[in-house]
Amino acid sequence: MATKAAFKRLTREYQNIQKEPTPFIVTHPSEQNILEWHYVLTGPPGTPYEKGQYWGTLIFPPEYPFAPPAIRMHTPSGRFQPSTRLCLSISDFHPKSFNPAWEVSTILIGLLSFMTSEEMTTGSVSASESERRVLAARSRWWNSTGGGSHISATAGVTRTAKGINNVKAGDGGLKFRTEWPELDQENWAWMKEHRIDTSTGQILPDPDAPIKCSPDTSALRRRPNGSVPAFGGVMEGGNVAREAGQGWVRQHRVWIGVALFFGYALISRLLSDMRA
């Protein structure tokens, strides 16, 4: 439970944040516990996290602002291990270095700055730029579906002995939906608009889009004439073969006539010899 000083301080900070929002950052305390704050960072332009939606929590100690919060990022980013406490100078890993003058906005600005750097610490991971961009593109899907686990909707939100939320991929997006209902609705509308398979996060094929293929296979896609496709195909094939045969006879009719003449003469001579 928060002390009176912590409650008063965090209430005032939330009011200030509402009056003066910070770019790329939104945050609010949980309705059930003012010491539990939820944030969403939007990946800044020109970074591998551009347009990514990164959700996490700040868990403040009762003695805040004289002790720092535990910081976690639940959304896979390629920068931090999901739902793992991060070792930063502004986190509970370094309580002696925390400045009581720092506020929630200061902490989240520091987190965003560290995220866009390449400095390593406890809780951070290495990944390529392309991998981080893929995760950024899938971040909305992951947040609202629990990594696709909304299909089975298994309980995946657990609490440690300290009461700190550890959001797993198996929660079906329940915790995110509870804390960010407006963003969750936007995410589902976005997935529908972009034809995202909610179970896998992959783009579904558009049945109305033309299928590109080679000229040979394109020819196989042409429908034959006739009211019955199969019968029409046979009839058309027969007509083509017959026309092809007739065309060859017309083209070589002179040589065919000569061949018939000499053949007739040769057969007549053979018959005459046999009679003699």
Same domain for 184 and 47:
yes
Out of 41-45, 85-89, 194-198, 206-210, which region has the weakest mean confidence (pLDDT)? Answer: 206-210
- Model's pTM, two decimal places? 0.72
Give pLDDT tens digits for 51-65: 999 999 999 999 999
**Does a structural domain hold residue 250?**
yes
- Answer for the pair 134, 52: CB distance below 8 angstroms, yes or no: no
Give the residue numbers spanning the domain of 23. Answer: 4-193
pLDDT above 80: residue 153: no
Cβ atoms within 10 Å of 131's Cβ, excluding its own: 14
Higher-pLDDT residue of 80 and 161 is 80
Same domain for 188 and 115:
yes
Looking at 87, 157, 164, 191, which residue is catalytic?
A: 87
Same domain for 171 and 64:
yes
pLDDT reported for residue 229: 36
**Does a structural domain hold residue 51?**
yes
Residue type at 45?
A: P
Give pLDDT tens digits for 165-185: 566 566 889 999 999 999 999
The tokens for 121 are 């610490």
Own/partner pairs for 26-31, CB < 8 Å, 24+ apart?
Answer: 27/58, 27/104, 27/105, 27/108, 28/179, 30/179
Question: What does residue 98 show for φ and ψ, rounded to 5 degrees?
Answer: -80, 135
Give pLDDT tens digits for 87-135: 999 999 999 999 999 999 999 999 999 999 999 999 999 999 999 999 9
> Which SS3 state, helix, strand or coil, does residue 107 take?
helix
- Answer for the pair 41, 95: CB distance below 8 angstroms, yes or no: no
- Answer for the pair 135, 77: CB distance below 8 angstroms, yes or no: yes
Question: What does residue 38 show for φ and ψ, rounded to 5 degrees?
Answer: -115, 135
> Which SS3 state, helix, strand or coil, does residue 53 take?
strand
Out of 15-24, 46-55, 203-212, which region has the weakest mean confidence (pLDDT)? Answer: 203-212
Residue type at 274?
A: M
**Domain end position, chosen among 161, 193, 225:** 193
Question: Could you tell me the pLDDT band of residue 206, with boundaries at 50, 70 and 90?
Answer: confident
Task: Residue count of the chain, please give it.
Answer: 276
> Residue range 30-35: average pLDDT?
94
CATH of the domain at 185: 3.10.110.10
pLDDT reported for residue 271: 61
Same domain for 251 and 148:
no
The tokens for 243 are 């026309």
Give pLDDT tens digits for 224-245: 344 333 333 333 444 434 444 4
Same domain for 227 and 166:
no
Same domain for 184 and 74:
yes
Euclidean distance between CA atoms 14 and 225, whole angstroms = 72
The tokens for 63 are 């003695």
Question: Could you tell me the pLDDT band of residue 212, with boundaries at 50, 70 and 90?
Answer: low
Euclidean distance between CA atoms 76 and 178, whole angstroms = 19
Question: At how many degrees (to 10) do helices 129-145 and 181-193 cross?
Answer: 110
Residue 87: active-site member: yes
The structure tokens 């020109």 sit at 46
**Does a structural domain hold residue 201?**
no
pLDDT reported for residue 214: 44
**Domain end position, chosen among 158, 193, 228:** 193
Domain count, the chain: 2
